[in-house]
Amino acid sequence: MAVRAGIVVTGTEVLTGRVADRNGPWLAEALRVIGVDVGSVVVVGDRPDDLRAALAFLAAGSDLVITSGGLGPTADDLTAAVVAEFQGRPPTLDAALEQRIAAVVERLTAARGWDTPPEAAAAGIAKQAQVPVGATVLEPVGTAPGLVVPVADGRTGPPVLVLPGPPSELQGMWPAAIGTDLVRRALGEATELRQSTLRLWGTPESELAATLRRVDDQLAGLEVTTCLRDGELEIVTRYAPEAEPAYARLAQAIRSGFADTLFSEGPTIDELVATALDERGWTMAVGEADTGGLLTARLTRPPGSSRRVLGGVVAYANSAKEELLDVPAAVLAEHGAVSPHVASLLAQGARERFGADVGVGVTGVAGPGGGTPEKPVGTLYLAIADPDTGSMASHRLRGDRDAIRQRTTTLVLQALREHLTSEPPT
């Protein structure tokens, strides 16, 4: 792990959480693939002093510093100017670049039917065409060009790679960025860095910790991190190729210690469920209540999911459960909408109405209102119906409304996996 990069994400909207940062994690993974380790990601607002401080902090321990964001036409977009100053390379107008950006803006303005006053557009374009002396320009993917800015002659320090904030622009510019001479030289000695993942379902973190402590002296060269998320315990290990035997020992210790709960050596639960359905050639449909569409949205997220997911009904109101999924009013009256009986009927109703092989039904109390002493917030019933059989389970989850809705979708996917793998496809 000799070669290291540091990342600065700019934007008060990111710092204050109005927008989730997608660039830091994306860059960290893109760098790992080419053998570059990331020590830290620093998020700063749109303030020159804070950006300068972050650049100084990262430059001290990195072979390359990468910034994302702050390249737009507005006054709070100040990254290029601050980096130019930090590296000691004054910005100058690149007239040819200005023309190329103007052409892009003109095309966008026409396509979107904007009536931006020409002088307003021109001021923004002139700002975006400022290039520090000696910097390499990366052609715009949107309107903003990227930059690779070396430190001024006679000083020492890593180059700064300046990338735009919109994730599609940043990702589109990445291949060109790592192909520049400046970046290649900075990352010259990077070697492969492997990453392997094991996933457990139902093992508490403390049990895993005990196992890891037992084999600790055999794990030299491995960076093991564990993470508990929606009940799944994820073990991610990063290592150089020469530590492969140590990783094999770790994996074996976990395989033998947690045979019952180790459900994956790589694929996510979403991928495992999709594969299990596809192996049988089965389609599925959903009848969901408190998850409000989240479960179907998760199942339809992967490209091509339409071949296995026919759809779902979000039966929020009882009338919808009756009319769209054939849950009898008498069952709702006797057992309540949140009950094992209704979960089973939602699964059967989804299966029949959509003509699917598998139906999933889920009903619960996501809160914050709606709980009762018998069925408090977090109560959850889920059912699965397939051509041969069915299954039902109940759970009690903790957390706020968002967390309960989210965790419910993971629980359903785990139940689906268990159901689908309990007997091999015929």
Stretch 77-96: interaction string toward its own copies, x if CB under 8 A: --------------------
Q: In terms of Cα–Cα distance, which of 417, 412, 372, 371 is closest to 393? A: 412
The DSSP letter of residue 305 is G
Candidate ranges 133-141, 151-159, 201-209, 272-280; the one touching its own copies (CB under 8 A): 201-209
Terminal-to-terminal C-alpha distance of the chain = 47
Task: Give the integer Cα–Cα distance in Å for 407 and 382.
Answer: 13
Residue from 3, 50, 80, 82 that binds its own copies (CB under 8 A)? 50
State which residue, 181 or 328, has the beta carbon closest to its own copies. Answer: 328
Stretch 138-177: interaction string toward its own copies, x if CB under 8 A: ------------------------------x---------
We find the least distance from the C-beta atom of residue 153 to its own copies, in angstroms, to be 28
State which residue, 299 or 342, has the beta carbon closest to its own copies. Answer: 299
Candidate ranges 50-58, 131-139, 251-259, 416-424; the one touching its own copies (CB under 8 A): 50-58
We find the least distance from the C-beta atom of residue 48 to its own copies, in angstroms, to be 12
Stretch 324-363: interaction string toward its own copies, x if CB under 8 A: x----------------------------xxx--------
Candidate ranges 81-89, 147-155, 292-300, 379-387; the one touching its own copies (CB under 8 A): 292-300
State which residue, 189 or 216, has the beta carbon closest to its own copies. Answer: 216
At residue 291, φ and ψ (nearest 5 deg) are -75, -15
Stretch 257-276: interaction string toward its own copies, x if CB under 8 A: --------------------
State which residue, 114 or 185, has the beta carbon closest to its own copies. Answer: 114
Q: Looking at residues 54 to 73 of the shown chain, list those that interact with its own copies (rule: CB under 8 A).
A: 54, 57, 61, 72-73
We find the least distance from the C-beta atom of residue 91 to its own copies, in angstroms, to be 18
Task: Give the integer Cα–Cα distance in Å for 144 and 71.
Answer: 6
Beta-sheet strands, E only, within 126-260: 130-132, 136-138, 146-149, 160-163, 194-201, 222-229, 232-239
Task: Give the integer Cα–Cα distance in Å for 23 and 424.
Answer: 41
We find the least distance from the C-beta atom of residue 251 to its own copies, in angstroms, to be 17
- Spatial contact of 67 and 99, defined as CB atoms under 8 Å apart: no
Q: Please report, for residues 207, 347, 353, the alpha-carbon distance to residue 321 in angstroms, rounded to integers and kept in the order given.
A: 42, 11, 12
Residue from 134, 221, 293, 371 that binds its own copies (CB under 8 A)? 293
State which residue, 182 or 377, has the beta carbon closest to its own copies. Answer: 377
CB count within 10 Å of CB 106 equals: 13
**If you write DSSP's letter for every residue of 61-105 in order, what string do you get?**
T-SEEEEES--SSSTT--HHHHHHHHHT--EEE-HHHHHHHHHHH
Q: Looking at residues 366 to 405 of the shown chain, list those that interact with its own copies (rule: CB under 8 A).
A: 367-369, 398-403, 405
Task: Give the integer Cα–Cα distance in Å for 6 and 14.
Answer: 17
We find the least distance from the C-beta atom of residue 308 to its own copies, in angstroms, to be 10
Task: Give the integer Cα–Cα distance in Å for 412 and 179.
Answer: 44
State which residue, 152 or 253, has the beta carbon closest to its own copies. Answer: 253
The DSSP letter of residue 217 is G
Number of residues in contact with its own copies, rule: CB under 8 A? 112
Quote the tokens at residue 42: 């620093």
